[in-house]
A and B are shown apart, each in its own frame.
Chain A
Amino acid sequence: MLVIEGLLKRYPDGFEALKGVDVTIEDGELVALIGPSGAGKSTLIRCVNRLVEPTEGTIELNELELTTLNRAGLRRARRRMAMIFQNYALVERLTVMENVLSGRLGSVGFFKSLFRRFPQDDVDNAFALLEKVGLEGLHDRRADALSGGQQQRVGIARALMQDPDILLVDEPTASLDPRTARQVMGLLADLCEEHGLAAIINIHDVPLARDYTDRILGLKAGELVFDGPPEELTDDVLPEIYGGEDWSKEPSEDDEEEEDIRSSGQFLAEEVL
């Protein structure tokens, strides 16, 4: 169970990306986090595994307070939370297998990992996961020689390799075509159910969120404005989250990327609706 209370994040430039968020996520619950660009979705999930340091508030994973952990404690806690990235974030020059096995880095000693001497159990598990995500036989392929959908599957396998309690997923489908996006979401949902995993999935594609998750959180300008089952997220509620025509607060960096994400999201919305 993940309990977030009063989470506030102020970036060094003074900007408050999160203004006190309270949310509880039960074991095995699949939660979609939606909201306009710049709402703080990435910031929220990155605060959970402290890739971004929270400014105020508490985050408890299975009764363990994360915000005050020291480095060793944080490393141990990070093993329980796996992250999946929009741009896959694979180590492109390593093979698929090495990428999947890198999910075990938190549990394997430095020299073992340096010489790639992972325990046989991990290797077996990795082969099984590759099969499960549909990448059988590709283990020696270099990661950058895969298509986007395949790379995201490797990312998912790497995350599951950690044997986590919760998945933190940041826009898993934003760089994929509509069909692959649905496949990847379906895969994520199936795997979460199979392993009894909770997941927070940042996503711009509202229809996908409705179809595959149990619960939807709407974030707007750092505040939670919606929390409920997919059925309650009707078209009248959407403007409340996305603020009608208002897209004013734009992140200055990565403008192009944001542009892309948004347009593909809208395109998807229109197509699927």
Chain B
Amino acid sequence: MPVEQREDTVVWRRRDKRQAVIHWFVTLGIAAVVLWCFKLIADDTTWEFVWSAPEQGADLAIRMFLPEWFVDIPQLWRDGELWVHVAEYFRQRGLYAMELWDPLVDTIHIATLGTVLGVMIASPLAFLAARNTTPSTTFVRPIALALLVTSRSVNSLIWALLLVVIIGPGMLAGIIAIALRSVGFCGKLLYEAIEEIDENTRDAVKSTGASGMQVLTFGVIPQIAPAFAGISIYRWDINIREATILGLVGAGGIGMALQSAIDTLAWGQVSVIFLAILATVVLSEWVSAKARAAVT
């Protein structure tokens, strides 16, 4: 197709005429839609706020990281009281950071238990969804796939909103929310891993006269074990991040502290929380990298 005959010379083009026209129309159409979206957003925006954003940002940064008395620093310095204030500043932040210890541990619990629960639900679903292990491709597989997609399309924060209303605020709602979202993620990656196993190995186990469960435990599970561990750890790492914000809707963890700090406009506390979250996320990333290297 890319080669066409034109007045007895052969011309090479990436696309033939019809393809090129369609290509242009599609590109133009998408561009028009995107531009129109730009316009809609622009219409909905209060531009004065946007222009004042640098000031607002600077103001926010000051309120987050600097003490109220920072304008008086020269005065305090002259009075010799600066160090007292500095010490007090760090003491207060330190005290607040200690208060954050419990919610932070809760956050990690939510992520871990949620991942464990999610993986426990996801594994059987994955076997039902994988083309080569499902009991029925016409009936069971579509249902399993639909469950996985549904779980994946609803964000854990929405699951949390829902669960907080149903079972009340607290860690339990957070754990289940994390689990419900993880099912889709882990289930999808897992069933893809199952579909990629070496069928010959499975046939070999089958041909010894092994039962269905034996084929699964000898022929399939050893093949997917590393993928399984890797996926779970990967999701745990993501879940730590997710768990830090579930508290915003009341589902436990450090997000609860964040919510109350924001509600009281205590930006100083917010900054401490951010640092705590940052440290946790960095730590979890390190742990998961180590763990994944160990299992694969």
A residues near B, CB below 8 A? 46, 49, 51, 75-79, 81-83, 85, 87, 89-94, 102-107, 110, 113-114, 155, 158, 162, 168
16 A-B interface contacts by CB (under 8 A): A76-B209, A78-B208, A78-B209, A83-B207, A85-B204, A89-B198, A89-B204, A91-B223, A93-B222, A93-B223, A105-B210, A105-B214, A105-B218, A107-B209, A110-B213, A113-B218
Partner among B204, B208, B217 whose Cβ is within 8 Å of the Cβ of A79: B208
Question: Given the complex, which residues of A lie within 8 Å of B201, measured CB to CB?
Answer: 89-92
Provide the B172-208 mask, 1 if CB < 8 A to any CB of A, else 0. Answer: 0000000000000000000000000010110111111
Question: Given the complex, which residues of A lie within 8 Å of B208, measured CB to CB?
Answer: 78-79, 82, 102-106, 158, 162
Question: Given the complex, which residues of B lie within 8 Å of A87, measured CB to CB?
Answer: 198, 200
Contact, CB under 8 Å: B203 / A75: no
Question: Given the complex, which residues of A lie within 8 Å of B226, measured CB to CB?
Answer: 93
The number of chain B residues touching the other chain, given as a range, is 20 to 34
Question: Given the complex, which residues of A lie within 8 Å of B222, measured CB to CB?
Answer: 91-94
Residue from the set B200, B209, B225 with the largest chain A CB neighbour count within 10 Å: B209
Contact, CB under 8 Å: B204 / A90: yes
Q: Does B136 sit within 8 A of A, measured CB to CB?
A: no
Residue from the set A78, A105, A107 with the largest chain B CB neighbour count within 10 Å: A105
Contact, CB under 8 Å: A78 / B205: no
Question: Given the complex, which residues of A lie within 8 Å of B204, measured CB to CB?
Answer: 83, 85, 89-91, 155, 158
Inter-chain CA distance A106–B223, complex, in Å, is 20
Inter-chain CA distance A76–B214, complex, in Å, is 14
Q: Does B219 sit within 8 A of A, measured CB to CB?
A: yes
Question: Given the complex, which residues of A lie within 8 Å of B210, measured CB to CB?
Answer: 75, 102, 105-106, 113
Inter-chain CA distance A106–B200, complex, in Å, is 18
Question: Given the complex, which residues of B lie within 8 Å of A91, measured CB to CB?
Answer: 201, 204-205, 218-219, 222-223
Q: A75-B211, A105-B218, A106-B210 are in contact. Are A93 and B225 (CB under 8 A)?
A: yes
Inter-chain CA distance A91–B219, complex, in Å, is 6
